[in-house]
Structure 1
Amino acid sequence: MLEEVVATRYVTPLREGGSLPGIVEADDLGTYVMKFTGAGQGRKTLVAEVICGQLGRRLGLRVPELVTIQLDPVIGLGEPDQEVQELLKASGGLNLGMDYLPGSIGFDPLAYEMDPVEAGRVVWFDALINNVDRSWRNPNMLVWHGEPWLIDHGATMIWHHNWPGAQASAAKPYDASDHVLATYGPDVAAAAAELAPRVTEELLTEVTADVPDEWLVDEPGFDAPDAVRRAYVEALLPRAATIHERVTVGERTERKPSQAPGWLTDHLTPWPHTTGQGEHSKQKDSGE
């Protein structure tokens, strides 16, 4: 189970995130980047953050520590931004927090070096979770104390938006051509040899158990939260064994539109704006 804390002060919104995350202080004296259940992307974004974040941490990747955060909407009464107030009002109860990394800066592939082994581990992990949102356009990586950290895993495991087609979707290959680490010559085979055997049914069962029941209830086609958790295990377990054989690195699409789904590409245009679904632009959640 994730540690649960209580938000004591809403500090500031992060207007670089698609879900308008915010920095909050909590009763454990910690500072967190908070993502809200009332945001436009819905609770599945938070489910993906928990499963992929916890899995990455268990595999030895640098992912900020996660907590659940109880939010009393009254905390936002002093917030002058009406949009933020509405988000806080819609997010009373349990939300998600990621340890805030003070002083971190965005990862720039032109400014930082990374060896093929470490790059391969990140690319293999992103292939496993089908992360289409760690591209050269939007790295979703931070550098903190000289080390790269992986953030923002809400746009992963796209199959959970259509469970009837989940097995077929999870069996698809992974195109890493636009991945931010593609130019480092990632050694995906070495990463698979190291990490794939560690992705066991037991491990996946443990990380899916960290998702709160209330984010899984009433999922169409499932009669209980544990059944939803099992579906994630059944999608990820076979993918871990063979996805390295289906990772391709081709020519980048600098002169073409992003290959990411339309519901992810808002962040490629300047803030502020909204889409037809009311989503916001998304670059990266600095300090996440």
Structure 2
Amino acid sequence: MTCSYLAWLTCYILTVTEAFPEGNAARTDLKTSAISEAPWVIFPLPGQWGTPRVSLPLVLGMFCGILASIVESVGDYHACARFSGAPPPPPHAVNRGICMEGFCCLLAGIWGSGLGVTSFSENIGAIAITKVGSRRVMQWTALLLFICAVFGKVGAVLATLPLPIVGGALIAVFRNAEADDVLMVLLTTGMFVAGIVGFFLDNTIPENMDFTSDVNLDCNLTTTPEANEADPLRQSLDNDIGGAENQMNPGPATELIEDA
């Protein structure tokens, strides 16, 4: 947000100094007429744009959009909990969230806003960037939105924000959100992780590598009783090696028993 304000101030300075030519999208005086035309105070009322109309094609199209929005919201709830350090939301909490989204969409239609109310993936990206997941921040943001809705001049001033700044902010938020979602899905998939590890090992370890070439076991151990008593490890190795030789080369008594 601070970077956006600094970029806005820079665009204003470059506009005043005529560094930007007329008609440049980065100029801050392209929408100055909206400030003078906007009323100081306005109260949004239900049905101020006329009676809502219902059309079957629009209902079907909106229904498809709502289904896609529900799927996205479920993912947004879990991603928001993950970035905020909160436990995953239980099913009943997800149901309440979907219900409130539908109720707010109904209110938006009555007030004639023309926009549905749903979770916003870019806000999840903002949480990941700023590391701020406090509900108090969203409460102050809601208050700011109420002020912008009631005081027309405030909203008109915000509307003068140059489009290149808006595009840059959206690119940063979109890129971070999409990258986090992709990495989270891939790195939590066991088959993908196993495939990457196998690919790495196949291309870094030679096929004809002899793993026993570097293992040199000194079998010429001292077999004197004094050495064995002084070194328990040698005594243990002597017993193991001697037992293995006896199994590989059975003695005459063993051969006679097997022949019998």
TM-score normalised to structure 1 length: 0.23
TM-score normalised to structure 2 length: 0.25
Q: Which has the higher helix share?
A: 2
Q: Which has the higher strand share?
A: 1
